[in-house]
Amino acid sequence: MPLMHSAVNGMCEDSGIDLVAYVPVIDNKIVMVFQIAPVVIFPLTVGEGFLLLYFAATGPNGAQVSWFMQLVIASTVAVTLFYLLEASSGRCTLTSTFERPLEPLHYLMWMVTMAIDSVTLHMLMAVQRRVRGEEKLRCERNLAEVILCTQAIFFTAFYGNLLRPVSALNLLLMCTSFASFGLVLYRNNEVVKVTTKDVYAIGERLALRFHFTRRALSIKWTYYTIVWMLAASHTISTQTEGLLLTTLDLLKAVFAITAWALYL
């Protein structure tokens, strides 16, 4: 994230775009709270994660738990760095083709966290099923598709919202983004469905945890899409859009703590 932040800010400065300072809006207390909350909550969540990781790693099942927690912490650290860097160095904000704020670093942060979360889900399923041969290759291919589609989602969506003049290329890029998003949801659902097919082998309680994790991630990602649609159609104001995106980002901390609680 620091490298991405430096690259994005350097691009903005070279383009003559002033970095927007992170200044809380004092005249609206709700907006002020939502602006400050990520800078406070995410570092605390990461600190809690490292503390839980220490206790888990030194426990009887440390080898089984530590790798899972490390991935969840890594995803949360990406969000934490995004907000801390923007708070300290300003943010690069462009204007989309829909005349809405467009933050390149925000897209990069979403791409990193979505990729890590998807890898975590697939690896968690792989641990439950000791597959071999063609089935193992299929699982690895599905994970590779998810990682590639995750990158396609945000790069095509970003440039689909940025390129001018607006043409058929913008539509093609946006359709590619939505198709990639659909494939990610399908592959994640598929890997959980196949893994939990034999409930008696992994246990009903564990199967419910896996389904909850997959649904929580899918719903959260879908809400981002809904917010984008509302913003693109100018159904909501720019301020409301920012508040909703920050709220969804804050859910990352909630999901991280929930995931640790479910798995420990």
pLDDT for res 92: 80
Among candidate residues 224, 228, 250, the one with its CA nearest the CA of residue 79: 250
Distances (CA, A) of 200 to 65, 121, 130, 196: 22, 20, 16, 9
Placement of tokens 């990406």 in the chain = 78
pLDDT for res 138: 79
pLDDT for res 102: 87
Phi (first) and psi of residue 92, to 5 degrees: -95, 115
Residue pair 257/45 in contact (Cβ under 8 Å)? The answer is: yes
Burial class (CB in 10 A: 0-12, 13-18, 19+), 167: exposed
The encoded tokens of residue 88 equal 């300290």
3-class DSSP state of 94: strand
pLDDT by position in tens, the chain (length 264): 677 777 777 777 666 666 655 444 445 666 667 677 788 888 888 887 787 777 767 766 655 566 677 788 888 888 888 888 887 777 788 889 988 888 888 898 899 999 988 888 888 887 776 666 677 777 788 889 999 999 999 999 999 999 988 899 999 999 999 999 999 999 999 888 888 876 666 777 777 878 888 888 888 899 999 999 999 899 998 888 888 888 888 887 777 777 666 655
User: If you write DSSP's letter for every residue of 230-262 in order, what string do you get?
Assistant: HHHTT-S-HHHHHHHHHHHHHHHHHHHHHHHHH
pLDDT for res 222: 92
Distance CA 182, CA 121 (A): 16
Domain boundaries, the chain: 2-13+26-263
Number of H helices, E strands in the chain: 9, 2
pLDDT for res 26: 47
CA 258, distance to chain mean position in Å, is 16
pLDDT for res 148: 94
pLDDT for res 61: 60
pTM of the shown model: 0.84
| CATH superfamily of the domain spanning 2-13+26-263 | Rhodopsin 7-helix transmembrane proteins (1.20.1070.10)
Torsion of CA 57, 61, 65, 66, to 10 degrees: 20
pLDDT for res 172: 96
The encoded tokens of residue 156 equal 């095509």
Q: Which long-range contacts (CB under 8 A, 24 or more apart) does 231-238 make?
A: 231/98, 231/100, 232/96, 232/98, 232/100, 234/98, 238/100, 238/101
pLDDT for res 28: 64
